[in-house]
Amino acid sequence: MLRIPRMNRRVRLVAACAATTAVLGPLIWLWQASLLPDAYSVTDMGYADYGGGPVAGSMTHVGHGAHRMAGHGVGSLTADPRRPADVAVTLTARRQRFPLPSGRVVDGYTLNGQSPGPVIRATAGQLVQVRLVNESVSEGVTLHWHGVDVPNAADGVAGVTQDAVGIGREFTYRFVADQAGTFWYHSHQVSHKQVSGGLLGALVVTPPARPAGVVDVVALVHLYRGARTVNGREGDIRVEAPPGGRARVRVIDTENGPMSVWVAGAPFRLVAVDGTDLNGPSPVQNTAVLVTAGGRADVEVTMPADGSPVRVHLGGSAAVVLGSRSYDVPAVPRPKATLDLLSYGTTAPLGFDPQRPDRRFRYDIGRRPGFLDGRPGIWWTVNGHLFPHVPMFIVAEGDVVRMRIANHSGAVHPMHLHGHHAVVLSRNGMPATGSPWWVDSLNVGNGESYEIAFVADNPGIWMDHCHDLPHATQGLVTHLMYEGITTPFAVGGTADNEPE
């Protein structure tokens, strides 16, 4: 029998150990570096990105990419506490099973015993006050006002602007509804679970002088366990609209992916996107509108003079049917053409010059193998980095900001910046030539890139994340932070804050 000298066996053993260490060592280091502490401030995550702008003298850097600032806390960024509320609402959150009108039972969440929650209505300029009471949601709850540029203390993000509201506790949100438009509200605590389960509702802000004779329809589209609903009802909803009259259908996509909207029976105009009116929208037909996850689209229809009904398709399996004498209008397939908002409508002044920005940022979305809080997988990246080692975009109040969002991840991402509206300047290098296209939720397809711009006019610490909410749990989250703003809140901790 051939004997291997003892020395050779030792050499081979040492070589095998060395090879194993060479392979496992970096993996162990990457695993260790991905672990999140039990409680952490979002201001301590990642690295500071100043976008080529000045670095604040009051800032010092501590540890791995951490930032410490002396200044105002998010709790001080509120509406005038002396001003009385014009609209006051109490919403009570419950974890419960509830039936849809079809009889389908949903194991989810309600607000005031219903899902979606009540439609909150206000007139532009009014102060809205909402008291949130948690009756039975064990993981806690918050409310985020999607698309409303609220003061930071009212943004409703657990671990960033407040602690999650535990059972038996309450929190009051106060903000002035400055902008007329279509918005919605939803929980930002365990949002991928609570929003899907029905913890959401519509917010409609109308102008002081409302146009006469326009039928106003809210169409909040939501999937309950795979069943598409409009305002909580499966299938079609019927709305009376007189011959020759106008109807404004406020479409709200609360799902995790984009939805197509198209109209059969009459031409339509797309009059608003994400709560902002378009300038000079012209009538179109045989064309679909793409509404991204979290986004809104206001579609205006002039009813046929002969009383024929009109169907507004919402993703194909649901619709708003407008009519008077009859509601018998068949469904039609989605048109091949999609309305291009880059050229729709007519130009108008922006109110600032995006060609002279104070800061430029890039938000490149990719995907690669790695660890996320110790879990191996293929995760989303921002500028090549896995969460939490992602950029913190830092601005000063008054800055003109440009951001390039590019997606090469293989999936669609509906990107949502809290507290601000941005104007789209170009897509894939093609400049915008139509109405100013203001967004708070932007559908960025795979292979697409967008240039957007905004004025940093709302101090705070703001999430900038994918609104395909499971994607946010998988690390597609960054923040926009104003110089001199701090937060006492932490993700995790005793409040179990979990914003995604």
Shared domain for 317 and 359, answered yes or no, is no
User: Considering the domain boundaries, does residue 250 fall inside one?
Assistant: yes
Residues 361 and 478 in one domain: yes
For residue 280, is it within any domain? yes
Q: Are both 335 and 356 inside the same structural domain?
A: no
What CATH number does residue 276 fall under? 2.60.40.420
Distance CA 174, CA 73 (A): 17
> How far is Cα 431 from Cα 7, in angstroms, rounded to an integer?
71
Based on the domain organization, do 308 and 386 belong to the same domain?
A: no
User: Is residue 231 domain-resident?
Assistant: yes
Instruction: List per-residue pLDDT tens for the chain, 500 residues long.
Output: 445 455 566 656 555 555 555 555 677 867 777 889 999 999 998 999 999 999 975 443 333 233 344 568 999 999 999 999 999 999 999 999 999 999 999 999 999 999 999 999 999 999 999 999 999 999 999 999 999 999 999 999 999 999 999 999 999 999 999 999 999 999 999 999 999 999 999 999 999 998 889 999 999 999 999 999 999 999 999 999 999 999 999 999 999 999 999 999 999 999 999 999 999 999 999 999 999 999 999 999 999 999 999 999 999 899 999 999 999 999 999 999 999 999 999 999 999 999 999 999 999 999 999 999 999 999 999 999 999 999 999 999 999 999 999 999 999 999 999 999 999 999 999 999 999 999 999 999 999 999 999 999 999 999 999 999 999 999 999 999 999 999 999 999 999 999 99
Report yes or no on 84 lying in a domain. Answer: no
How many domains, the chain?
Answer: 2
- Whole-angstrom distance, CA of residue 436 vs CA of residue 157: 29
Q: By residue range, what is the domain housing residue 371?
A: 39-74+352-492
Burial class (CB in 10 A: 0-12, 13-18, 19+), 410: exposed
Residue 226 maps to a domain:
yes
Pairing of strands 391-395, 477-482: parallel
Whether the CB-CB separation of 441 and 467 falls below 8 Å is answered with: yes
Same domain, yes or no, for 245 and 359? no
Look up residue 129 and give its amino acid.
Answer: Q
In angstroms, the CA 187 to CA 145 distance is: 9
Residue 428 domain-assigned (yes or no): yes
Do 363 and 473 fall into the same domain?
yes
Residues 370, 488, single domain; the answer is yes
The last residue of one of the domains, among 271, 305, 339, is 339
Bridge-partner residues for 201, per DSSP?
185
Does 358 share its domain with 487? yes
C-alpha to C-alpha distance for 487 and 489, rounded to whole angstroms: 5
Are 367 and 332 part of one and the same domain?
no
Nearest to 406 by CA among 440, 363, 442: 363
Q: For residue 271, count CB atoms less than 10 angstroms from its CB and return exposed for 0-12, middle for 13-18, buried for 19 or more.
A: middle
Considering the domain architecture, whether residues 441 and 467 belong to the same structural domain is answered as yes
Last residue of a domain, one of 339, 371, 396: 339
**pTM of the shown model:** 0.93
Do residue 356 and residue 446 come from a single domain? Answer: yes
Structure tokens at 49: 């990105």
**DSSP β-bridge partners for residue 116:** none
Residues 380 and 313 in one domain: no
Q: 339, 369, 397 — which closes off a domain?
A: 339
Instruction: Tell me how crowded residue 3 is: count the other CB atoms within 10 A of its CB.
Output: 7
Classify residue 116: in a domain, yes or no: no
User: Domain for residue 313, yes or no?
Assistant: yes
